[in-house]
Amino acid sequence: MTKLGFPSHPMLLGFDQLERLLERTTRAAPDGYPPFNIEQCDANSYRITLAVAGFDESDLAITIEESQLMVRGQHPTPDESRVFLHRGIAARQFQRGFALGEGVEVARAALSDGLLHIDLTRAIPETVVKTIPITRA
């Protein structure tokens, strides 16, 4: 008996992009830094909040690559003249990715009190009914 996976089911045509998205998402780094929240503000808007204490706007970059929202943080070169007796505050770079659904776009991003807020909106697609003419073969 042949086992059919989700994207290879015969009734699902053209969903190979979904398979690639699932593969890319499962390969994402599960290290948990920086911590984040995702909240649904209403039916068509979301907010991602990342805890990026110690990062400035110039240390952060937000890009969209192949329907994936990427947030990167990189601290400038540390001041070697400083001597730490204990270093408990993380000063490391990070990269965090979020898969975006079709029609989801970044509305704005703001940094406030060590929290990076990224607001997302989903455009409501217009319902289109298309009639396909049938011809004799």
What pLDDT score was predicted for residue 114? Answer: 92
Angle in degrees, CA 34, 62, 31, rounded to 5: 25
Give the pLDDT mean for 37-52.
94
CATH number at residue 40: 2.60.40.790
Say if 134 falls within a structural domain: no
Higher pLDDT, 90 or 61: 61
Q: What is the pLDDT of residues 11-31, one digit of tens each?
A: 666 666 666 666 666 665 567
Determine the structural domain holding residue 99 and report its residue range. 35-77+88-123
Gap between the Cα atoms of 126 and 83, Å rounded: 60
Gap between the Cα atoms of 78 and 128, Å rounded: 55
Band (126; pLDDT cuts 50, 70, 90): confident
Say if 129 falls within a structural domain: no
**Overall domain count for the chain:** 1
Give the pLDDT mean for 61-73.
93
Say if 136 falls within a structural domain: no
Say if 53 falls within a structural domain: yes
Higher pLDDT, 2 or 80: 80
